[in-house]
Structure 1
Amino acid sequence: MIPAELTATDGGTNASLPRAERAYQQLRAAIQAGQLAPGTRLREVELAESLGLSRTPVREALSRLESEGLVVNEPNRGMMVTQLDASMVSELYVMREVLEGTAAALAARHATDVELSLLRDIVERDLAIADDPVRLAANNRLFHETLHRCAHNRYLLKTLRSLHESMALLGRSTLAVPGRAHASYEEHASLVAALEQRDPALAEQIMRRHIQQAYKVRLSLWIEEQAGS
């Protein structure tokens, strides 16, 4: 079901933007925030009413989101937020492992001391918010986004941003699973130590293992959700 009013979650959408761009940003933010969950049917009339726009910019926004893989046009069901199956989840994590492993190796070579200090601060913040899965998930995203920038490779950064937009389709954070938050903290701390040692091979190995562990938890969540649906 489409909410009566969709609101941007990134601080608001600039009213001076073209209407199609505003519609795109608000719909993308709603998908990422879970307002529009995977499997939600996207009817132009309802979306236009919810966004306070006409159908034309909404149609353009949906076409753009479809090209990015966030929505799909099913022959018998129409436009809907993409639902990931087991193979798609696997493919997503395979790419995460490759790309984030590469980012970790590059960060070990190119990150500044200030950037590494910032990464360390982000990791240690987990200890203060250990009982808040929402804040933990936000801090986790910040850690990974900061690490990506530490690689100092604009093309890798662009690819990772696109990949992480698709991650929004996975649903709730794996950090809410008992024990995963602490394990993730330990993995992040080990990664930062490898970066501080300027050891690209070790940093890549730790990051790949981190993504593999996250995938195991994610797959368990997916199986659990499928069993309950």
Structure 2
Amino acid sequence: MGRVPAARRSVLTEDVYERVKGLIMNGDLEPGARVNIYAIARLLEVSQTPVREVLSALESEGLLTKEALRGYSVAPLLTPAQIADLYQLRLLLEPWAAGRAAELMTAEAAERVRAELASVPKAPQGTRYEDYHGLADHDARFHDLIAELSGSGAVRESLRRTHGHLHLFRIEYAGGRDGDPTLAEHARIAEAVMAGRAEAASEAMRAHLAAARDRFLQMEP
């Protein structure tokens, strides 16, 4: 594992969080690997306190697992069956959410959607987490925003609790994929939602999720 620059003290916990997440997403900490609090603290040249906080946060995001008497380990990558199952859930929830968001569209909501699209004007070229984390964050925000604009707290919370988002990005960028299709598909969804075209928005979301699912399932194991 290569040396990681020391965290800046002014934003200590945030830096530790991004560095540890980067180790996981880049495969420096491989799926199933034990994550030793003391070793991570030495690597990042920080105290154990922020490391403990960060490992707990990453567990809540599903990137780490914790076992009694064994501590933290890197969560395994999703299997093809788990990917298919995750997208089946999303296909049940998100096309409806997109259609409903279109029905409830307002000028203020449209501006929020437009601003989110503008936050990542082009796909990153690199395959390391440091390169693509902005796209990963945008993807999470975009889907969460559509769920929020649907007015259904239950749908929004269900999507938040799947823990699939970052796992999918681990797989996608390890496999050398780029983000161009994702951004293009988001743009089509946004166009329909902002125009208030419920059926088109629902179909655009369904097509996006089905295409994303197929891209993952066609990747080499």
Shift of 1:210: 0.7
Gaps of 5+ in 1: 16-21
What CA RMSD, in Å, does the superposition of the two structures yield over aligned residues?
4.2
Residue 82 of structure 2 corresponds to residue 88 of structure 1:
yes
Shift of 1:150: 2.2
The answer for the alignment partner of 2:154 in structure 1 is 155
Counterpart pick for 1:106 among 100, 118, 124: 100
The answer for the alignment partner of 2:143 in structure 1 is 144
| Structure 1 moving runs of 4+ over 6 Å | none
Give matches, 1:52-63, under 5 Å. Answer: 52-54=46-48, 58=52, 62=55
Q: TM-score scaled to structure 2, two decimals?
A: 0.66
Shift of 1:218: 1.6
User: Percent identity of the aligned residues?
Assistant: 25
Change in Cα spacing, 1:57 to 1:136, as seen in structure 2 (3 Å) is closer
The letter of the residue matching 1:198 is G
Q: TM-score scaled to structure 1, two decimals?
A: 0.64
The answer for the alignment partner of 1:40 in structure 2 is 33
CA contact (8 A) 2:102 2:193 kept: yes
CA contact (8 A) 1:108 1:203 kept: yes
Larger deviation, residues 203-212 vs 148-157: 148-157
The letter of the residue matching 2:160 is R
Partner SS state of residue 164, structure 2: helix
Partner SS state of residue 208, structure 1: helix
Residue 193 of structure 2 corresponds to residue 195 of structure 1:
yes
Partner SS state of residue 46, structure 1: helix
Shift of 1:90: 1.8
**For residues 27-50 of structure 1, what are the alpha-carbon distances to aligned partners after superposition, in whole Å with 9 as ceiling and x for unaligned?**
874477546453433123313434
The count of residues paired between Structure 1 and Structure 2 equals 208
Shift of 1:104: 0.8
Task: Tell me, in whole angstroms, the C-alpha distance in 2 between the residues paired with 1:168 and 1:6.
Answer: 24
Give matches, 1:121-140, under 5 Å. Answer: 122-123=116-117, 129=122, 132=125, 134=132, 139-140=138-139
Task: Tell me, in whole angstroms, the C-alpha distance in 1 between the residues paired with 2:183 and 2:114.
Answer: 11
CA contact (8 A) 1:45 1:55 kept: no
Change in Cα spacing, 1:4 to 1:195, as seen in structure 2 (3 Å) is closer
CA contact (8 A) 2:13 2:50 kept: no
Change in Cα spacing, 1:40 to 1:27, as seen in structure 2 (3 Å) is farther
Gaps of 5+ in 2: 127-131
Bigger RCO of structures 1 and 2 (CA < 8 A, at least 6 apart): 2
